[in-house]
Amino acid sequence: MDIRGKKFTVVGGAGLIGSHTVEELLKEEVAEVTVFDNFTRGSEENLAEVINDPRLNIYSLGANIMHTDHLDKAFKGTDGVFHFAALWLLQCYDFPRSAFDVNIAGTFNVLEAIINNNVKKLVFSSSASVYGDAVREPMDEDHPYNNETFYGASKIAGEHMCRSLYKRHKGSDKHFDYSGLRYFNVYGPRQDYHGAYIAVIMKILDQLENGISPTIYGDGSQAYDFVYVGDCAKANVAAMKGDTSDEFYNVCTGHRTSIKDLANMLIEMTGSDLELSYQEADQMFVKNRIGSPDKAKAELDFTALMELKEGLNKLIEWRSSHKEEVDQRRRAVESN
């Protein structure tokens, strides 16, 4: 899609990936970007960099993807939709009924509003959680669904709802295009404490700031593909611009980093002399998940460029300049 002069709605646009995508969109010659967000996890502070852009519109009538009439109103005249709204992994574990309502029924509501308003294209926020633990590495887009979590199940359901409704309406006056992006371990400024995997970065930095040896669960050999949130934003815009449809893409670097190596990197970067402490893992997550970036590079012309150390520096700088906001996010998790 040629996005110049077009209008976009970003569902969940005040969250981590959503707010960075809004910023990336507004670097382009777009006509309007509407943020549709209930501010449960996202915040207006996340949009501070672009809040004065006249092309930015925050839907203010009660942005909830369970309210189909509001979705219908927000999508009128929209050329493209980015869908980020979802409950995260541990919420889905604790509250599967709510996860069904939001991640599955809510995604259907978004798709229905897209179809009813003749929106041209959707970029759907999926997750590498659909893959579960690696059966083979690197994990390409044909890697089998090895997921065992309800969060991953809800993303698989979302992917297949996109595909089935795309196939149903293809060639009709209700046709829409879509691309699905499977983000690996996203980190960066505006990060909170909710991510089951990524929260480890914030918690290690908390421990280092308080003179406490960082705690590693297990032996620290668990390895992941850490991708900078700004690169994810670029991937979203690339997917909206792309000519492909009915395809899913990894958003990843292809680089392996163990939790032990990550923690040691943070110790070095903060100038700490503390050593790691190890505890038996009380809850097991995926142990290995490294993606293949080849398909996104070939079909979307997207490559994640941010080196991990540079990206972590940007996160540390953001934490330092947003102490009150970070404290609020920490307290929000501790109170739950």
Q: Which residues are catalytic?
A: 151
d(CA 113, CA 309): 41
Using the 8-state DSSP alphabet, how is residue 117 labeled? T
Cis ω for the linkage preceding 138 (within 30 of 0): yes
Strand partners, 80: 8, 121
Strand partners, 251: 183
CB atoms within 10 A of CB 29: 11
Q: Are 181 and 246 in contact (CB under 8 A)?
A: no
Using the 8-state DSSP alphabet, how is residue 214 labeled? P
d(CA 234, CA 322): 24
The candidate with the shortest Cα–Cα distance to 236, out of 66, 87, 52, 19, is: 19
Are β-strands 288-289 and 223-224 bridged in parallel, bridged antiparallel, or unpaired?
parallel
Q: Are 300 and 238 in contact (CB under 8 A)?
A: yes
Q: Are 249 and 301 in contact (CB under 8 A)?
A: no
Burial class of 263 by CB neighbour count within 10 A (0 to 12, 13 to 18, 19+): buried
317 contact partners, CB below 8 Å, separation of at least 6? 189
User: Sign (positive/negative) of CA torsion 244, 245, 247, 253?
Assistant: positive
